[in-house]
Amino acid sequence: MSKPKISTDWMCGCAGCHMSLLDIDERILKIAELADIRATPITDLKEPDESGVDVGILEGGINNTANEEVAHRMRKRCKILVALGDCAVFGGVPAMRNFFTLEETLKRAYIETESTDSEGKIPDNPELARMTRVRAVHEVVPVDIFVPGCPPDPDVIYYVLSELAQGRKPELKGELLHWH
Amino acid sequence: MLNVTIDGKSIQVPEGTTVLRAAEQAGIKVPVLCDHPHLVPFGGCRLCVVEVEGMRTLQPACSLPVSNNMVVKTNSDKVQAARKFVLTLIFSDRNHFCPYCQVSGGDCELQNAALEMGMTHWDYQPNWKPYPVDASHPYLVIDHNRCILCRRCVRACGELVGNFTLGIEERGASSMLVCDLGVPFGESSCVSCGTCSQVCPTGAIIDRQSAYQGLEKKVERTPSICVGCSVGCGVEILTRDNRLVRILGLWDSPVNGGVLCKVGRFLPLDDDRERITRPMVRKDGKLQPVSWDEALNVITAQLKPLINQKTHGVAAIASPRLPVEALASFKKLFKDGFKSDLVTSLEEGATTTSASLVAQEMGAFETNLEALQSADCVVVVGADLYHEEQVVGFMIKRKLPANTALVVIDSADNEFTHLARATLNPVAGSESYVLRGLGAALVKLDLAKGTPAGMNAEAELKTAADKAGIRLEDLSRVASLIGMASRPVFVYGRKVNADTLKALVELSRLAGAGQSLIGVRGAANSLAAAQLGLEQPFKRNGHQAVYVALGDDQPSQRLVQEIEGVPFLVVQASHTSRLTAMADVVLPVEMWAETSGHYLNLEGRLQASTPALKPMEGVYSNTAAIEAVAMRLGIDVTVDWKAELQQSPAPVTLAIA
Ligand code: SF4
Ligand code: SF4
Ligand code: SF4
Ligand code: SF4
């Protein structure tokens, strides 16, 4: 049997979940032994194989049309989709902006921030992705496994990866389940 | 007894037991949110639903009484699914963002419940409507985004504190926690007792002092007692790295049952006085840090010649916040060792002399706080329970909805007046006439239960009316409130002199209430100080030196003035003050949270204080400092303090094991 293929991607998050993933330290070799690590933001390959992967992992929520594409692409190309971290699970810190309108948020970010000079301008290039409300991954595509945490603990991530790499469904409970 | 089978376990419970308590008794944990062991069941959150054989729908365990031969399942698939659904609805009702919530990670009962159910997420969206955060209160913050409307705070504020500040306005999805009729928390009738923050299961009411100071799981917890006043409430002191983090009411305490007042809960963490860490001696007009040895040498040289100088020796004054051990050694050192005629406490007997005098005459005449639980009439005489002994005030206020009649007798205005069924405002100094008048009115109304020897009721009534300026109809109205009650309780305070107190004891006997008086006494160890005879007024007169065992107390303006100009002043204190600034020798001692020792509360209950913090090296306990001084002077201060406390008649039966 060939090793299961794992691919990851990130969207509206802070990269912290991927940092936490790297924090599993030398245990990543064990994962590499058990699984075929394919496209990730931290490897050379940038998009999951068109031929499909077994496990797709997404960090971050979905806050614009570009992220929507990433989520749909991953969902289409993977068998098991994992939402990694609080942003992917429910929107996380970026979702705080949902309390304001998109206009208010853009104005605050590009014009009103203390570090912006009088030239502040909201980018309007039509090629840019269109901003949306921040959504959890499962609001856009179906998710199979939720791994909460901000970020999830490396031990949790290692457990999830090693279970998936061995073809099992990770069950988070007890010490492995936390939301902070 | 009723038979009930829960998850296959059969037990017997008394009638009226709820399924929740029965499950507890069977060792089965049913998750709850709105329920709290110290509050009346409310049945609002529905997390505790269980399956009951023969009932069509799931039932809330917290408010369902057991019936005979009931069969209950607390953990079936149906129950599990319902619980998850309940939690999902609660999470999506408002805005819960655990990663940046102060209680996340162990201190949130909502999050804990979800984790216990193995929930990795919930399927619905948060509300996304921004709810207000009310940060107008000096000690507490209400974040409505995290409020689950469990009403624990509302119930605690009403049922335990009797303050009724919190309430719920509107209904259904528009329900909101409100203060009074919708004013900001900081402008409300709240008395900052903090009980609401202690019972809130989520991060909706957090206290500013301890917020983000460390998870409660990571703190050390020390059960101890508050030394803020003579009630002696049980506290739980939370510390981290030898630093105070939070003070909680101790639910198990027989005195206060979990409730605290602002003085016990919040003020200790506001204490920003400078700590004294080294002994100091005045050299060239300035206090200089020295070793204990040197400081004790100076004290010995100055005080030794004053031994046996009754009136021209050392005047000694100690804080009634010191533990009994320290007070007893203090007395032994100065009264027996120095033979000084002025050995007293900072309160100078203000809160205790009346009771001591009456106790000399008639022995113990008071009862304990428990009497308030069943009181149907409470008469408060000369006590300001809004500012002092506040928890006693809470115990009274929470009885009012049960139709307990409150009577306030005070020459001054009193915050309790507006809650009272009746108020009498006698001219200051005429309180005893009013009390005798009330006794006479009881007799006249034929409500008196004792037999008054040779009482001329008409004459007493007339005197009361004339001297106190009280109308006869008011006297008889109050007398009938007292006389109709089956369990009246009389609470008196520091403004009551011995004569008034005697009149009050007589009145209570006429009301037939047995021992039904409760005296509030000021400081944590006022009663102990009184029992040790430390209650005379402080007048320095000819004394050549003053020794103040101040502990962590604050010196009064009057004390500072009285002491000013004394040739030699020793102060043992934990913090700098105007008094230490005047001193010739300063000895560093422990503050309350570092103290191990005993306290005699207003009920005569002996309680131990357990240190939650370690003092800095070189800081002595108050007792050790007194012993060190005594040792140098060759005076033996070992003392059987328990026996010492019982040498004079006490106003209340002392519970000293
Ligand atoms: S109150 Fe509890 S559930 Fe709500 S955000 Fe805070 S930790 Fe999470
Ligand atoms: S602090 Fe005390 S009085 Fe104030 S709202 Fe809370 S429970 Fe009520
Ligand atoms: S503030 Fe806390 S205790 Fe009060 S109703 Fe809301 S969640 Fe319950
Ligand atoms: S009533 Fe007295 S003992 Fe109780 S918390 Fe308040 S100050 Fe402390």
pLDDT band at A119 (very low <50, low <70, confident <90, very high): confident
Whether a cis peptide bond, with omega within 30° of 0, leads into B452 is: no
pLDDT band at B453 (very low <50, low <70, confident <90, very high): confident
Over range B56-61, report the average pLDDT.
96
pLDDT band at B189 (very low <50, low <70, confident <90, very high): very high
Instruction: Kindly report, residue by residue over A3-37, the tens digit of the pLDDT.
Output: 999 999 999 999 999 999 999 999 999 999 999 99
Instruction: Kindly report, residue by residue over B388-435, the tens digit of the pLDDT.
Output: 999 999 999 999 999 999 999 999 988 899 999 999 999 999 999 999
**Ligand 2 binding pocket includes B192 (Cβ within 6 Å):** yes
Q: What strands, in cross-sheet order, belong to the sheet with A5-10?
A: A36-37, A5-10, A53-59, A78-84, A145-147
Over range A50-64, report the average pLDDT.
97
**With an 8 Å Cβ cutoff, are A178 and B105 in contact?**
yes
Whether B250 and B180 have beta carbons less than 8 Å apart is answered as no
From A180, A142, A21, A154, select the one nearest B115 (Cα to Cα): A180
Kindly tell me if the per-residue pLDDT of B216 is higher than 90.
Answer: no
Q: For residue B57, give the 3-state DSSP assignment.
A: coil
pTM of the predicted model as reported, rounded to 2 decimal places: 0.94
Cα gap B524→B352, rounded to integer Å: 12
Superfamily of domain B353-519: Dimethylsulfoxide Reductase, domain 2 (3.40.228.10)
**With an 8 Å Cβ cutoff, are B105 and A180 in contact?**
yes
Instruction: Kindly report, residue by residue over B242-295, the tens digit of the pLDDT.
Output: 999 999 999 999 999 999 999 999 999 999 999 999 999 999 999 999 999 999
Domain boundaries, chain A: 5-96+132-166
Q: Given this model, what pLDDT does residue B210 score?
A: 94
Cα gap B573→B585, rounded to integer Å: 11
What is the ipTM for the molecules in this complex? 0.92
Over range B457-486, report the average pLDDT.
93
Q: What strands, in cross-sheet order, belong to the sheet with B488-492?
A: B422-424, B405-409, B377-381, B488-492, B517-519
Q: Point out the ligand nearest to the CA of residue B203.
A: 1
CATH architecture of B127-270: 2-Layer Sandwich (3.30)
- What number does CATH give the domain B2-75? 3.10.20.740
Whether B483 and B450 have beta carbons less than 8 Å apart is answered as no
Kindly tell me if the per-residue pLDDT of B542 is higher than 80.
Answer: yes
Whether B46 and B60 have beta carbons less than 8 Å apart is answered as yes
CB pairs under 8 A between A and B: 52
Cα gap B460→B585, rounded to integer Å: 57
Instruction: Kindly report, residue by residue over A31-47, the tens digit of the pLDDT.
Output: 999 999 999 998 899 89
Cα gap B238→B245, rounded to integer Å: 5
Q: Closest CB to A179: pick one of B111, B118, B126.
A: B111
Q: Given this model, what pLDDT does residue B506 score?
A: 93
DSSP letters of B95-133?
A: T--GGG-TTTTTT-HHHHHHHHTT-S--SSPP--SPPPE
Mutate to test the interface with A, among B121, B131, B212 (most CBs of A within 10 A): B121
Q: For residue B610, give the 3-state DSSP assignment.
A: coil
**Ligand 2 binding pocket includes B191 (Cβ within 6 Å):** yes
CA distance B201 to chain A (A): 17
What whole-number percentage of chain B has pLDDT above 90? 94
Q: Given this model, what pLDDT does residue A68 score?
A: 98
Probe residue for ligand 2, chosen from B177, B190, B256 as the CB with the greatest number of ligand atoms within 8 Å = B190
* More reliable by pLDDT, B417 or B302: B302
One-letter amino acid at B245 equals V
Q: Given this model, what pLDDT does residue A1 score?
A: 58
Mean pLDDT of chain A: 94
Q: What is the 3-state secondary structure (H, E, C) of B177-232?
A: EEECCCECHHHCCCCCCCHHHHHCCCCCEEECCCCCCCCHHHCEEEEEECCCCCCC
Cα gap B87→B94, rounded to integer Å: 12
Q: Given this model, what pLDDT does residue A122 score?
A: 92
Q: Given this model, what pLDDT does residue A140 score?
A: 97
Cα gap B228→B267, rounded to integer Å: 9
Domain boundaries, chain B: 2-75, 127-270, 280-351+525-645, 353-519
Probe residue for ligand 4, chosen from B163, B250, B263 as the CB with the greatest number of ligand atoms within 8 Å = B263
Tell me whether domains B2-75 and B127-270 share a fold: no
Question: What is the CA(B626)–ligand 3 centre distance, in A?
Answer: 49
Pick the CATH number of B280-351+525-645 from 3.20.20.140, 2.30.110.10, 3.40.50.740, 1.10.1060.10: 3.40.50.740
Over range B206-228, report the average pLDDT.
93
Q: Which fold has domain A5-96+132-166?
A: Rossmann fold (3.40.50)
Whether B42 and B52 have beta carbons less than 8 Å apart is answered as no
What whole-number percentage of chain B has pLDDT above 70? 100
Instruction: Kindly report, residue by residue over B353-401, the tens digit of the pLDDT.
Output: 999 999 999 999 999 999 999 999 999 999 999 999 999 999 999 999 9
Instruction: Residue A2: count other Cβ atoms within 10 Å of its Cβ.
Output: 6
Kindly tell me if the per-residue pLDDT of A117 is higher than 90.
Answer: no
Q: Given this model, what pLDDT does residue B455 score?
A: 83
Mean pLDDT of chain B: 95
